[in-house]
Structure 1
Amino acid sequence: MNPRGRYPPPGMGSGGGGGGRGGGNMYPNANPNFQPRNPQQYVQRGPVNQQQQFQNQQAQQWLRRNQLASDSTVDEVEKTVQSEAVDQSSQDWKARLKIPPADTRYRTEDVTATKGNEFEDYFLKRELLMGIYEKGFERPSPIQEESIPIALTGSDILARAKNGTGKTAAFCIPALEKIDQDVNAIQVVILVPTRELALQTSQVCKELGKHLKIEVMVTTGGTSLKDDIMRLYQPVHLLVGTPGRILDLARKGICVLKDCSMLVMDEADKLLSPEFQPSIVQLIRFLPANRQVLMFSATFPVTVKDFKERYLQKPYVINLMDELTLKGITQFYAFVEERQKLHCLNTLFSKLQINQSIIFCNSVNRVELLAKKITELGYSCFYIHAKMLQDHRNRVFHDFRNGACRNLVCTDLFTRGIDIQAVNVVINFDFPKNSETYLHRVGRSGRFGHLGLAVNLITYEDRFNLYRIEQELGTEIKQIPPHIDQAIYCL
């Protein structure tokens, strides 16, 4: 009598999934609910000869093979179902996002000439992706495509890209991704040259990281030092600020940077000017030796090269500046005498279709005088400059950004990184002295590939500067026509 004769061969019956791989259900307890599907599946009872045993073994092997094939098919089906479930859940979280309406305005190739990557290609945290999409970002711009994957590897970066092409998100996204929210320490410091840019950058970080438990703090000169000290006793993961204030807090032992693994320098050329460089060099001493440094700017003078060689380790260099001025900005000049400037400005206001405009002067006094004259002409106008109280500056910046006023008169304080999407016209009431300032001024319009207009009021004394700036930037500033087609700056 075959002792195994009364039990089904391995893989048979309702317990087959385990039996096929485990070598057979040898005990009835392995499946107490077993119900035979067909009496013929049982092995023959009674005495058996060798040939019958051999046939039985073959039958069992065949059944095992069949079961294995069946199991692998089941596995494949399960994997397909699981991947479809993942895809479904992926679609579900996207469907629940509060995505703003798509911006359908025309965009230039400064931001559209991409490799076709998606933000999801960078394996970012889902909570970060949620913030990215809810901010209205659809896919990475060229500078983001180049920078984000390199920054995530931990390499130092020296990146040069035009104003208004998405540099802020190019460093904010990897910074937020690399922060460990469970570690109560400052892990990223973002340095910027102006207080307004610090506020703007911290706001971008908060919006992108709103689904993450990351604490963002902004600190600048001109604000209460006591408030900053109190805030630093609470958790801070990402610190945005101007170099002088952060250095002051670090020296006092309040701002502890020993765990800061990433230093970002936005508008790096300005940060390495004589005004800021000594503070930057001292601040770096408070950071660990293995920190990562990311430097971003539209212009890179010689000072940047010296700094790179001293403080960056084999940096990855990104240069997206085949031409310097933005493709979407049309540039004109109007040749005027000094006393005709206000009349000319009044004519521009009446003829142009202005969403919002920024008007630049070369001195604080001229800013206040011009703002007063524009108001007297009957146009809404704010002004901002470095000698104003910080609270007043913050209020003006916030209100102009929110569309409370159409025109803003300012000094070069406002040329760095300030991103106000509605600005489509920049007017140089006073023509700048050098090409870098010109480049940053006109870059306030035509943000993120949109169209913009730059009008320069040129006096007899400015004619040589105009020619030199055209040569240095490799651009053409044309004489203003009697009629300007709205299609070149209003689409």
Structure 2
Amino acid sequence: MEQFGDDWKKSLQLPPKDTRVRTSDVTSTKGNEFEDYCLKRELLMGIFEMGWEKPSPIQEESIPIALSGRDILARAKNGTGKSGAYLIPMLERIDLKKDYIQAIVMVPTRELALQVSQISIQISKHLGGVKVMATTGGTNLRDDIMRLDETVHVVIATPGRILDLIKKGVAKVDRVQMMVMDEADKLLSQDFVVLIEDIISFLGKGRQILLYSATFPISVQKFMAKHLHKPYEINLMEELTLKGITQYYAYVTERQKVHCLNTLFSRLQINQSIIFCNSTQRVELLAKKITQLGYSCFYIHAKMMQEYRNRVFHDFRNGLCRNLVCTDLFTRGIDIQAVNVVINFDFPKNAETYLHRIGRSGRFGHLGLAINLITSEDRFNLKSIEDQLVTDIKPIPGSIDKSLYVAEFHATNPNCGALELLNW
């Protein structure tokens, strides 16, 4: 049904407008519109129906370059529209007349694979038959083999599983035009890099590679020199931490941590929170304690069965529970808009982990709070992470202004939002 002029926009099923305050991480754009990129109208319909009104900075930088076929090395914070930055040009370039795999997105975790495939399916729903498949370890290999017997245009995968399918001759990737690596620093860490190199050896010569990462360790630079051809470099990370996240620490002994957490729960206006521990055992113990204190709580860690992890993730995302206790398994790419408070019950060992953990709140430029419980052993770590990230983690004040982390709260009344927090 061809519609002319701007009439097609009137028939879109737009989600409710998100009126929350957003930071310059996603608003300091050049003022481009999605229509400026000569995208297919059907793709634009999907983009607008996702509630994406205008491109974020990483999208403005990536989309035109990716459409031109050039390799990209992009450094951008989590939660600033990275998936859209590569999915939009990728879906635009899929040729539905060709029934083979044309693009691969590599991600380090199953959760992220499911999330990215969900977004691709949503934004391509008007394109008339783009076939997207997610494939990850821990699921039935036979189902994937059957699925690849039919047409698949886009594969979103974790490295081990896609390599398995390639080597079995089931996933034919020699005509793939575009390979994206999301969370590239993780994909090029020791766990995965051999698999990634192997996968690339099966791709055709003319392939385009897009790398997205919040941090760029040496592994990424080595890989880039070897496999990317004159990549266009995008760096939107003058400062590393997200602008909308206010960071505090509370100085406690190990024995005071649970009491301190209880105080935070009673005083803060938590929409949803993620609480990080440094081991699976501590995750389970803490989840039990929180439940005993009378708060709703889920937990998730790597030693749980995949099926159970998926269910917890799904239920938490759907708001069935307010608090989630987890290990670092859950730090990357996980996008739950409702999370406005992240608590490091155990302080992380390095800056990279810290950055990914606190990036779970304040998604897409919204406001969030990160609170760190610091014991005397952690104080050197705290200092070193502050220095590396050139960020300021302040002592927790007697009252925290709600306008720093509560979306619906507009600071029109100066007397709102004081909370006496430090009466432990």
Number of the residue aligned with 2:103: 188
Q: Give the distance between the partners of 1:439 and 1:397, measured in 2 at CA.
A: 21
Number of the residue aligned with 2:421: none
Which of 14, 17, 23 matches 1:102?
Answer: 17
Number of the residue aligned with 2:420: none
Kindly report which structure 2 residues correspond to 1:294-443, keeping only aligned pairs within 5 A, or say none.
Answer: 294-443=210-359
Number of the residue aligned with 2:363: 447
Displacement of 1:362 after TM fit? Answer: 0.6
Number of the residue aligned with 1:461: 377
Deviation by residue 1:219-270 (Cα, 9 ceiling, x = unmatched) = 1111111111111111110000100000011010011101111000000000
Report whether the alignment pairs 1:134 with 2:49: yes
Kindly report which structure 2 residues correspond to 1:28-39, keeping only aligned pairs within 5 A, or say none.
Answer: none
Displacement of 1:411 after TM fit? Answer: 0.7
Number of the residue aligned with 1:23: none
Which of 108, 113, 124 matches 2:28?
Answer: 113
Number of the residue aligned with 2:402: 486
- The number of equivalent residue pairs is 405
Kindly report which structure 2 residues correspond to 1:32-111, keeping only aligned pairs within 5 A, or say none.
Answer: 89-111=4-26
- CA-atom RMSD in angstroms: 0.9
Q: Give the distance between the partners of 1:162 and 1:437, measured in 2 at CA.
A: 13
Task: Look at both structures and tell me which one has the larger radius of gyration over its CA atoms.
Answer: 1
Displacement of 1:401 after TM fit? Answer: 0.6
- For the residue of structure 2 that corresponds to 1:158, the secondary structure is strand
Displacement of 1:301 after TM fit? Answer: 0.4
Number of the residue aligned with 1:45: none
Q: Give the distance between the partners of 1:266 and 1:133, measured in 2 at CA.
A: 23
Number of the residue aligned with 2:132: 216
Number of the residue aligned with 2:71: 156
Displacement of 1:90 after TM fit? Answer: 2.9
1:150 maps to amino acid: I
Q: Give the distance between the partners of 1:374 and 1:459, measured in 2 at CA.
A: 20
Deviation by residue 1:421-467 (Cα, 9 ceiling, x = unmatched) = 00000000000000000000000000111000000000010000000
Deviation by residue 1:276-318 (Cα, 9 ceiling, x = unmatched) = 0000000101110110000001100011000000000000000
Which of 137, 143, 163 matches 2:58?
Answer: 143
Displacement of 1:114 after TM fit? Answer: 0.3
- For the residue of structure 2 that corresponds to 1:90, the secondary structure is coil
2:7 maps to amino acid: D
Displacement of 1:369 after TM fit? Answer: 1.1
Structure having the higher helix fraction is: 1
Which runs of no fewer than 5 residues in structure 2 stay unpaired? Answer: 408-424
Deviation by residue 1:21-76 (Cα, 9 ceiling, x = unmatched) = xxxxxxxxxxxxxxxxxxxxxxxxxxxxxxxxxxxxxxxxxxxxxxxxxxxxxxxx
Which of 160, 172, 175 matches 1:259?
Answer: 175
Structure number with higher relative contact order (C-alpha < 8 Å, ≥ 6 residues apart)? 2
Number of the residue aligned with 1:59: none
Number of the residue aligned with 1:276: 192
Q: Give the distance between the partners of 2:5 and 2:320, measured in 1 at CA.
A: 39
Q: Give the distance between the partners of 1:110 and 1:180, measured in 2 at CA.
A: 33
Number of the residue aligned with 2:205: 289
Displacement of 1:113 after TM fit? Answer: 0.4
Q: Give the distance between the partners of 2:38 and 2:212, measured in 1 at CA.
A: 23
Q: Give the distance between the partners of 2:334 and 2:96, measured in 1 at CA.
A: 29
2:336 maps to amino acid: I
- For the residue of structure 2 that corresponds to 1:105, the secondary structure is coil
Deviation by residue 1:186-214 (Cα, 9 ceiling, x = unmatched) = 10000000110010010010111111110
Where has structure 1 moved over 6 Å in runs of 4 or more? Answer: none
Q: Give the distance between the partners of 2:80 and 2:154, measured in 1 at CA.
A: 23
Number of the residue aligned with 2:90: 175
Deviation by residue 1:73-124 (Cα, 9 ceiling, x = unmatched) = xxxxxxxxxxxxx9x8232110000011111111111101000000000000
Displacement of 1:390 after TM fit? Answer: 1.2
Q: Give the distance between the partners of 2:130 and 2:387, measured in 1 at CA.
A: 46
- For the residue of structure 2 that corresponds to 1:263, the secondary structure is strand
1:490 maps to amino acid: V
Q: Give the distance between the partners of 1:409 and 1:391, measured in 2 at CA.
A: 18
1:138 maps to amino acid: E
Number of the residue aligned with 1:206: 121
Q: Give the distance between the partners of 1:177 and 1:90, measured in 2 at CA.
A: 21
Which of 228, 232, 238 matches 2:144?
Answer: 228
- For the residue of structure 2 that corresponds to 1:264, the secondary structure is strand
Q: What is the identity percentage for the equivalent residue pairs of Structure 1 and Structure 2?
A: 70
Q: Give the distance between the partners of 2:311 and 2:66, measured in 1 at CA.
A: 34
Deviation by residue 1:138-165 (Cα, 9 ceiling, x = unmatched) = 0000000000000000000000011111
Kindly report which structure 2 residues correspond to 1:235-254, keeping only aligned pairs within 5 A, or say none.
Answer: 235-254=151-170
Kindly report which structure 2 residues correspond to 1:22-33, keeping only aligned pairs within 5 A, or say none.
Answer: none
What is the TM-score when the length of structure 2 is the normalising length? 0.95
Q: Give the distance between the partners of 2:301 and 2:132, measured in 1 at CA.
A: 26
Worse-superposed segment, 149-158 or 210-219: 210-219
Which runs of no fewer than 5 residues in structure 1 stay unpaired? Answer: 1-85
Q: Give the distance between the partners of 1:160 and 1:256, measured in 2 at CA.
A: 30
Deviation by residue 1:354-413 (Cα, 9 ceiling, x = unmatched) = 000000011111111111111111111111111111111111111111111110111111
What is the TM-score when the length of structure 1 is the normalising length? 0.82
Q: Give the distance between the partners of 2:159 and 2:110, measured in 1 at CA.
A: 10
